[in-house]
Structure 1
Amino acid sequence: MLTTASVPDRDRVTYWNDAVNRTLVPMTVTPRGDGPFDARLVTNRLGYLQVSTMEADAERVSRTPALIARSSEALVAVGVQVSGTATFIQDGRRAEVGEGDLVVCDRSRPYSFDYPQRFATHVFQLPRHTLGVPDSDIRQVTGHAIGTRDGFGSVLLPFLATLASSTETYPRAVADRLAGNVVDLFATLITERAHPGDADGDTARSPLLLRVREHINRNLADPDLSPESIAKAHRISIRYLHRLFENEGTTVGRLIQKRRLEECCRELARRGRTAPTVSAVAQRWGFANPAHFSRSFRAAYGVSPREWRSLRTAPGDVGRSPVGAPVPSVTVADSSPAGRPLSGG
Structure 2
Amino acid sequence: MLTTASVPDGDKVAYWNDAVSRALVPMTVAPRGDGPFDGRISTARLGYLQVSTMEADAERVSRTPALIARSSEALVGVGVQVSGTATFVQDGRRAEVGEGDLVVYDTTRPYSFDYPERFATHVFQLPRRTLGVADEDIRQVTGNAIGTGDGFGAMLLPFLAGLASSSADGYPPAVANRLAGNVVDLFATLIAERAHPADTDADADARNHLMLRVRDHIDRNLGDPGLSPESIARTHRISVRYLHRLFEGEGTTVGRLIRQRRLEECGRELARRGRTAPTVSAVAQRWGFVNPAHFSRTFRAAYGVSPREWRDLRAAPRDR
Instruction: Return 5+ residue gaps in structure 2 as ranges.
Output: 208-217, 227-244
SS in 2 for 1:176: helix
Contact 2:281 2:292 (C-alpha < 8 Å) held by counterparts: no
Name the counterpart of 1:124: 124
Higher relative contact order (CA 8 A, sep 6+): 2
Cα distance change of structure 1 residues 290 and 55 upon mapping to structure 2, 3 Å threshold = same
Name the counterpart of 2:232: none
Cα distance change of structure 1 residues 98 and 173 upon mapping to structure 2, 3 Å threshold = same
**C-alpha separation between the residues in 1 aligned to 2:100 and 2:296?**
57
Q: How does 1:330-345 map to 2 (within 5 A)?
A: none
Contact 1:87 1:95 (C-alpha < 8 Å) held by counterparts: yes
Contact 1:269 1:309 (C-alpha < 8 Å) held by counterparts: no
Contact 1:297 1:305 (C-alpha < 8 Å) held by counterparts: no
Cα distance change of structure 1 residues 15 and 6 upon mapping to structure 2, 3 Å threshold = same
One-letter amino acid of the counterpart of residue 92, structure 1: G
Instruction: Return 5+ residue gaps in structure 1 as ranges.
Output: 204-213, 223-243, 317-345
Name the counterpart of 1:323: none
Name the counterpart of 1:267: 266
Name the counterpart of 1:12: 12
Cα offset for 1:293?
6.3
Relative to its length, the structure with more helix (as a share) is: 2
Cα distance change of structure 1 residues 162 and 250 upon mapping to structure 2, 3 Å threshold = farther
CA-to-aligned-CA distance 1:220-270 (integer Å, 9 cap, x gap): x89xxxxxxxxxxxxxxxxxxxxx9xx889899xx9778645543432222
The yes-or-no answer on 1:173 pairing with 2:174 is yes
Cα distance change of structure 1 residues 79 and 290 upon mapping to structure 2, 3 Å threshold = same
Name the counterpart of 1:35: 35
Name the counterpart of 1:197: 198
**C-alpha separation between the residues in 2 aligned to 1:137 and 1:312?**
51
Contact 1:270 1:313 (C-alpha < 8 Å) held by counterparts: no
The yes-or-no answer on 1:297 pairing with 2:308 is no
One-letter amino acid of the counterpart of residue 267, structure 1: C
Say how many residue pairs are matched. 273
Cα distance change of structure 1 residues 50 and 312 upon mapping to structure 2, 3 Å threshold = farther
The yes-or-no answer on 1:134 pairing with 2:134 is yes
- TM-score of the two chains, using structure 2 as the length reference: 0.71
One-letter amino acid of the counterpart of residue 194, structure 1: A
Contact 1:28 1:62 (C-alpha < 8 Å) held by counterparts: yes
**C-alpha separation between the residues in 1 aligned to 2:261 and 2:16?**
59
Cα offset for 1:47?
2.2
Contact 1:46 1:179 (C-alpha < 8 Å) held by counterparts: yes
**C-alpha separation between the residues in 1 aligned to 2:16 and 2:5?**
11
Name the counterpart of 2:83: 83
Cα distance change of structure 1 residues 308 and 259 upon mapping to structure 2, 3 Å threshold = farther
Cα offset for 1:32?
1.4
Cα distance change of structure 1 residues 124 and 278 upon mapping to structure 2, 3 Å threshold = same
**C-alpha separation between the residues in 2 aligned to 1:174 and 1:248?**
33
Aligned-CA RMSD value:
3.9
Cα offset for 1:275?
3.6
Cα offset for 1:22?
1.2
The yes-or-no answer on 1:152 pairing with 2:152 is yes
Cα offset for 1:284?
5.0
The sequence identity of aligned pairs, in percent, is 66
Name the counterpart of 1:72: 72
The yes-or-no answer on 1:63 pairing with 2:63 is yes
- TM-score of the two chains, using structure 1 as the length reference: 0.67
Contact 1:88 1:111 (C-alpha < 8 Å) held by counterparts: yes
**C-alpha separation between the residues in 2 aligned to 1:90 and 1:55?**
22
Name the counterpart of 2:22: 22
Contact 1:268 1:278 (C-alpha < 8 Å) held by counterparts: no
Name the counterpart of 1:206: none
One-letter amino acid of the counterpart of residue 91, structure 2: D
One-letter amino acid of the counterpart of residue 266, structure 1: E
Contact 2:68 2:108 (C-alpha < 8 Å) held by counterparts: yes
Cα offset for 1:82?
1.0
Cα offset for 1:277?
6.0
One-letter amino acid of the counterpart of residue 130, structure 2: T
Cα offset for 1:276?
0.6
Contact 1:269 1:312 (C-alpha < 8 Å) held by counterparts: no
Q: How does 1:275-294 map to 2 (within 5 A)?
A: 275-276=279-280, 294=300
